[in-house]
Amino acid sequence: MPTKNTPRHVAVIPDANRRWARQKGLPAIEGHREGYKRMKEVAREARDRDIRYFTFWAGSEDNLRKRSRLEVLFLAQLLKTGIVKDLLTNDFMKWETRVKILGKWDEILRDKALRDLVGEIEDKTKHFSERFLTVLFGYNGTSEMIQAVQDLKESKAPVSYDSIKRHLWTGELPPVDLVIRTGGEPHWSAGFMMWQTANSQFYFTRTKWPDFGKKQFRAALDEYARRERRLGK
């Protein structure tokens, strides 16, 4: 059972896959391959810790638009593999986890096979309500906010907290309690989930994502549990 010091929603910015690979004399895709393994490991640990919402930034909009075609295709293939092996057939279905994959990946990649797989996993898990896995792919928080404002303007609904949130790609998610960023560069990127992180706790670590496993994740959760969240009180 979760304790009062267990975050309800954890979001991860998994930085430094490419730097990890470069330091080992490996191509960038090997950093992403190892990073995918860590994502599964940490997501399982989040399940074991009764964290209901786990959000993972698998690739930014700039990543998909500006990286080499080979690297982008590899990232897309990793996502396909993950959906088939780990989401549709193994752990996440068994854990009754609702899965959403959000961002501009479809607009950028135009990959019918990936679109079909995403549609399948989202449809098969839409009735689950205990655990939630959100993968952000081709995601940019600034683009998300601009689109939300445009949609709200077109709807002609009154501007309020709730009306803005309803138009966000991530609008169904609750506020993020803890954001973890790996890789030793303690900064924000691309307006990451700016609406849901207004009152988040931040955890920065020098550990590169391919070296960040369940032991390091537990350390982040332990530090979170020691902090006092006053929320303006």
Q: Which pLDDT belongs to residue 85?
A: 79
pLDDT given at position 83: 84
Beta strands 53-60 and 97-102 are unpaired
Q: Contact, 220 vs 180, CB < 8 A?
A: yes
- The CA distance from 48 to 45, in Å, is 5
Q: State the Cα torsion 8-101-128-199 to the nearest 10°.
A: 20
> Which token pair is 191?
């307006």
Torsion (CA) 83, 89, 94, 95 in degrees, nearest 10:
-10
What pTM value is reported for the model? 0.94
What residues act catalytically? 15, 63
pLDDT (tens digit per residue) in 146-198: 999 999 999 998 999 999 999 999 999 999 999 999 999 998 899 999 999 99
State yes or no: pLDDT of 119 exceeds 90: yes
Sorted by where each begins, the domain ranges of the chain are: 9-141+175-222
Tell me how far apart the alpha carbons of residues 54 and 112 are, in angstroms, rounded to a whole number: 26
Domain range 9-141+175-222, CATH class: alpha beta
Is the pLDDT at 82 greater than 50, yes or no? yes
